[in-house]
Structure 1
Amino acid sequence: MKINRSGSAAWSGGLKDGKGTISTQSGALDAYPYGFATRFEGVPGSNPEELIAAAHASCFTMALSMILGEAGLTAEKMETSAVVTLEKLEDGFAVTASRLSLKATIPGADDESFQDLAAKAKANCPISKLLKAEISLEAELLD
C-alpha cells in the first residue's frame, strides 16, 4: 500500500523581507503565512520546524497506539509533544534534534513494558524514519 499526501509553500521576496504561505492537501492549512520573522523572531505565523514537531508527535502517538494494541493494551489517554531544534552550524542551519515527550494513561501497563513499547514506536514511526531518510529533490527552473 502506498499513500501520498501533499503540502505546498509559496514565497515572494528576499529572505528577511519576503513572505510565504503554507498549504496542505487536507486544507488544515490554506495559505497560512510564514516568513523570516515567524521562524526566527517569534512573530505569529508558522514555520517548518513546528510543522515537523506536530507531525512527529502525532505520528509517534499513532504508532504507539498500534503497538499497544498488538500488546493487548489500549491507552485511555496519550498526550505527546515534540520540540524540534534548529541550530546554526558552521555549514548553515540544520534540524539537529526532535525531542518527544509523552504522558500516557494505559490501564494494565507496567513501566518496563511501557518504556519498551514507547521506544519501539519512536524508532519505527514513519516520521522518525523520515528524519533519517534519504531526501530526494526534483528541481525545475521556470522562466
Structure 2
Amino acid sequence: MTAPRIEDNSLDHTADVEAIRQVIADVEKGFNDNDADLLVEHFAENGSAVSVNGRQLDGRDMMLEVSRAALAGPLRDERARYRLADVVFVRPDVAVAHKHAWATDAAGEPVDVGHAMSALYVLTKEGERWWVVARQNTLVPGS
C-alpha cells in the first residue's frame, strides 16, 4: 500500500499564507516586545505548545502564564527574527507551518548563540481567522 499525499490544492491559498505569515509576525513582535498577550493571541483556547526545553503547555491560560514569567525573567533581553519557511494545507481549513528563528540583538542584527530554532505550527481556520492549535519548538545546534 502506498501512503497518500495529504495536501489540499483545490484552492488558491495566497491570502491564507499571508494571514499565517501575520500570525508568525505577531508572535515575533510579542517575543521581541516582551508582550506575552500578543505572543499567545493567535492560540486557540485549548491550544498546546511545547517549549524548546520540552515543557508541554496545555491551554492558552497556561501559555500566557508561562510566557509572562519567561518574558519578565530569563527571556527579558532576548530578541529573535522569525521566518515562515513552509506552509502545507492538509485541508482548506487546516495548515501545517514551519517557522525558523534566529537570535538577534536589539537592533535586529544576528547574534551567534550557537543555535537557531525551528518550530512546527498546526493551524485551523475558524470563520475567516487562523488559530494556532499546536506548536512544537526545537533548538537547532549551530554548524
Which TM class, normalised by the smaller chain length? 0.3 to 0.5
Q: TM-score under structure 1 normalisation?
A: 0.32
TM-score of the aligned structures, taking structure 2 as reference length: 0.32
Higher relative contact order (CA 8 A, sep 6+): 2
Higher alpha-carbon Rg? 1
Name whichever structure is richer in helix by fraction: 1
